[in-house]
Amino acid sequence: MSDREPGIIKEFRELYEYVRLMGEHINQIHTRLDKIDRNINEVSSSHRNAIMENTAEIKEMKENMVNKYELDDFIEKMKASVAETLPLLPLLADKRPPVSEVTEDVYEE
């Protein structure tokens, strides 16, 4: 039995070294997985925050759109209520008077 002891001790040392290396490898994998998990959480949190901000902006835009429609409706009602008392306003884009209203001396200098 004493002849086998050095061989058994060597095998146990090899087995111990193998288990130790496996433990280190498992720890490295665990560290990498933790880092990946943190990165995923950061990205997820960032996306969640962006979604919340976008939701708030969309809500505000919808409120503004409703207010614009209400304002447009109010303006149309105001125009209708004073349409009988005020003359029609010319379009701003058409600033030139019709040709029939222009006299020749306007163009002469």
Chain segment 3-49, per-residue pLDDT in tens = 566 888 999 999 999 999 999 999 999 999 999 999 999 999 999 99
> How far does CA 37 lie from the centroid of its chain?
23
Range of the domain at 71: 7-84
Q: How far is CA 60 from the centre of its chain?
A: 15
pLDDT of residue 104: 57
Mean pLDDT computed over every residue of the chain = 81
- Please state whether the predicted TM-score (pTM) of the whole model is above 0.75: no
Query: What is the C-alpha to C-alpha distance for residues 89 and 86, in angstroms, rounded to an integer?
Result: 8
Q: Is residue 92 part of a domain?
A: no
* Number of domains making up the chain: 1
In a domain, 26, yes or no: yes
Query: Looking at the domain assignment, is residue 107 inside a domain?
Result: no
95 found inside a domain: no
| Tokens standing for residue 55 | 């939701």
